[in-house]
Amino acid sequence: MAIDARKDPETAPGALARIAKQLDINPETLRNWVRRVEDGQAATPGIETVSDIERIRLLEKEVRELRRANEILKTASAFFAAELDRPHR
């Protein structure tokens, strides 16, 4: 994504800054990642492209949201279980 945006003359100016803002990361961090990928030196084994990094970021966000939803469901389940155990009038 970032590498392609830099190659396109219409999107090249400020591409890394725009993409970094969309990803909510420091532009210099993205610049370093792009340099490493372009040089064939991805910092983490198995992560070879910026799109891999973006995908991991989105998956981590989804995991956080699912964990939060799970906690809400556990709390609701405990509440309703207590309601069922309570004697009715």
56 Cα distance to chain centroid:
6
Give the chain's radius of gyration (CA, Å). 22
Domain co-membership, 53 together with 84: yes
The answer on 56 and 35 residing in a single domain is: no
Is the pTM higher than 0.75? no
Please state, in angstroms and rounded to a whole number, the distance separating the CA atoms of residues 82 and 25: 44
Q: What is the pLDDT of residues 24-58, one digit of tens each?
A: 888 888 888 888 777 766 556 666 666 777 888 89
Are residue 25 and residue 59 in the same domain, yes or no? no
Q: Average pLDDT of 56-69?
A: 94
Residue ranges making up the domain that contains 29: 1-39
- The reply to whether 30 and 62 lie within a common domain is no
Quote the pLDDT of residue 83: 85
Residue 60's pLDDT band, with cuts at 50, 70 and 90, is very high
* Number of domains within the chain: 2
pLDDT tens digit string along 20-33?
888 888 888 888 88
